[in-house]
Amino acid sequence: MSEIIVGVSGGIAAYKAASLVRLFTESGHDVTVVPTEAALKFVGAPTWEALSGRPVRTDVFEDVHEVPHVRLGQHADLVVVAPATANLLAKAAHGLADDLLTNTLLTARCPVVMAPAMHTEMWEHASTRHNVETLRSRGVHVLDPASGRLTGTDTGPGRLVEPDEIFAACMNVLESRVQDLVGRHVVVSAGGTREYLDPVRFLGNRSSGRQGYALAEAAVARGATVTVVAANVALPDPAGAAVVQVVSTEDLRREVLLAAADADVVVMAAAPADFRPDSTVESKIKKTPGGDAPQINLVENPDILAELVRTRVSKRPVVVGFAAETGDENGSVLDHARVKFERKGCDFLVVNDVSGERVFGRDDNEAVILGSDGSVTPVAFGPKIALAHAVWDAVTALYP
């Protein structure tokens, strides 16, 4: 198991860090809590010591013979700061070291995760945004805060993401310590589009967005700047990714093409509807007893994946498609997938066999990754995050 430093800075959300420490210790990790003096005004040292089973220090002059301001960072496998206040982010970005936590951040050569929490005005201030960009450019994993109720009656972005989400992000970082996507902007589409017939009915599909969100989480862990275009996904936003919500296939197309303009990689994990009604009724279609069912005329939706390939310049961005297939009398899953792969022209096609209630809405997946170089990479059944990393392994192999 890993040696983890949990830094806690002085914000009201410090109480949530107690749950994070518990998640780490219950998973078998060794945890040392390093609070700031301000953090101890919210949660006292006895709480941290009881949860971690280790003494708590805040000052570099405590137990000087152990040189804690150097030793802690040198021996850590991960440092996570939750909450990370605007003050802490500023100190870290400028290399200030006036207490044990900031000294530890300077000496750490392991991955660092920061979960900001502050009022909206502070999070949106140009100084904070610049500090976050600086830290991210150095490979620090700065998660975007959640939007919701803050101190008092305030509401907006700046709320600390939930401890289980921070824990998942940290585990993802520990499992993928390679930072091979630093400096890359990746776009991931996720979920299933809806094509409305009337205000209450739509044509849709069963895609939950779980695989797309796993791809986003893995990319964040590997250092990328991540934009997710999410179609009707009812999941918490992936920590550290910017999420754009859409509904229809045309919405998805517009936002993906916009985000792809400066992207290095686009992964089309969403399931866009192939067809849409040729018109939408503004009021609910009524059922008439004994009457005929309404006739619905469908028209074909644009092929977003093919358009991405057709409009890119010099083979950039790298384009990854997904194919949810079932076998039939005309061919196997891979037979159908290879035909689609040739037609689409993307760099990789991730092929899922979705027959027999598999894949959709589940936490596990298995797939075959087809490469334009003729490679065929099976990914065994397992957590969707494992498949996500396999996809990024394939993508990063294309870069020098």
Longest CA–CA separation in the chain, Å: 89
CB atoms within 10 A of CB 392: 25
CB 236 within 8 A of CB 322: no
Residue 50 burial (CB count, 10 A): 11
Point out the residues that are catalytic: 205
Kindly tell me the burial class for residue 380, based on how many C-beta atoms sit within 10 Å of its own C-beta (0-12, 13-18, 19 or more).
exposed
Phi and psi based region of residue 336 (left: phi greater than 0; alpha: psi -120 to 50; beta: remaining): alpha
| Range 326-360 burial, b when 16+ CB lie within 10 A, else e | eeeeeeebbebbbebbeebebbbbbbbbbeeeebb
CA dihedral 10, 11, 15, 21 (to 10 degrees): -60
CA distance 185 to 220: 10
